[in-house]
């Protein structure tokens, strides 16, 4: 499932084609994805101007001139692809419709935004913009890791008292927004902390030191266009490249990249998810 860097990459790719433009025609080709679409979604979107395109955790939010906000979640295999952009950012003509093109936006500037989702785990919803943060999917999410509210004091206060593994704590969206399995594995490697270490057994200083590491990992991933493992594509259809920079994720049995370390990357399963780490470097 796309994590914060992938969703932010898609948001940035959509912005030139969507922000400030009117949706001249919205086409909804099925009644639902993971959940039913809101009533009359196509009619409510048609004619609306996208005033602002933003991201909250792993969700893209399009604030509309109608006073509503469109929430978009990519799910496991969702892709939002841009074609026909008159600004020349995207070189693709409008492609022929595909089987899993579930929602299509034709913009006044000639761009077309196609939401394609073979597994149908994605979602879209509409909500009043002035109450967007009250939406059930957003209300309990923690601070954005690249924002000012995410601080050393916040992370220590939220993580230090917990007896759960540190990896589980960092995956808790109520503590910090947008982190998923890939980037927590990479963060803990850079922080030299074993993923199974109990949070309350880690010093406050080591927990606090994870804040700039988390920011660096996410910033590096965004700069590389995210990580493409299976289905993820950027808005122009291109792959992300951060997977080529993984230090531990998916590298079971391969040599540790820490200079002077002769160990190899290992894998354990925590709560049904694979954790990758170096037993020598991470304690």
Cα separations in angstroms, 3 against 10, 94, 130, 178: 11, 27, 26, 6
Active site residue 165: no
- Does 2 qualify as catalytic in the annotation? yes
Among candidate residues 160, 206, 267, 273, the one labeled active-site is 273
The CA distance from 143 to 128, in Å, is 21
30 is catalytic: no
Catalytic residue chosen out of the listed positions 2, 16, 143, 165: 2
Phi/psi at 106 (nearest 5 deg)? -100, 120
Of 11, 58, 79, 251, the active-site residue reads 58
Q: Are 21 and 109 in contact (CB under 8 A)?
A: yes
3 is a catalytic site residue: yes
Beta sheet of 68-73, edge-to-edge order: 50-56, 59-64, 68-73, 123-128
Dihedrals phi, psi of 118, to nearest 5 degrees: -60, -40
Which two structure tokens, joined as six digits, stand for 50?
């996208």
3-state SS, residue 8: helix
Which sequence positions are flagged as catalytic?
2-3, 58, 273
């Amino acid at each position: 499932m796309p994590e914060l860097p992938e969703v932010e990459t898609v948001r940035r790719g959509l912005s030139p084609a969507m922000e400030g433009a009117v949706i001249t025609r919205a086409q909804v080709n099925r009644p639902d994805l993971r959940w039913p679409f809101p009533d009359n979604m196509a009619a409510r979107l048609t004619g609306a101007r996208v005033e602002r395109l933003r991201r909250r955790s792993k969700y893209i939010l399009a604030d509309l001139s109608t006073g509503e906000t469109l929430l978009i979640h990519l799910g496991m295999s969702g892709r939002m692809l841009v074609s026909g952009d008159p600004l020349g950012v995207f070189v693709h003509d409008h492609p022929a419709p595909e089987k899993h093109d579930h929602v299509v936006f034709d913009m006044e500037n000639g761009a077309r935004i196609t939401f394609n989702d073979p597994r149908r785990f994605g979602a879209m919803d509409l909500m009043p913009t002035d109450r967007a943060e009250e939406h059930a999917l957003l209300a309990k999410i923690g601070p954005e890791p690249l924002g000012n509210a995410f601080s050393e004091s916040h992370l220590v206060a939220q993580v230090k008292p917990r007896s759960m593994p540190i990896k589980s704590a960092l995956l808790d969206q109520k503590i910090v927004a947008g982190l998923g399995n890939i980037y927590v594995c990479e963060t803990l490697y850079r922080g030299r902390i074993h993923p199974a270490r109990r949070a309350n057994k880690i010093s406050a200083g080591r927990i606090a030191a994870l804040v700039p590491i988390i920011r660096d990992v996410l910033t590096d991933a965004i700069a590389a266009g995210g990580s493409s493992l299976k289905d993820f594509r950027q808005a122009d259809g291109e792959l992300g490249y951060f997977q080529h920079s993984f230090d531990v994720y998916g590298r079971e049995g391969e040599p540790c990249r820490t200079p002077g370390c002769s160990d190899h990357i290992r894998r354990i399963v925590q709560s049904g998810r694979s954790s990758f780490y170096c037993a020598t470097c991470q304690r």
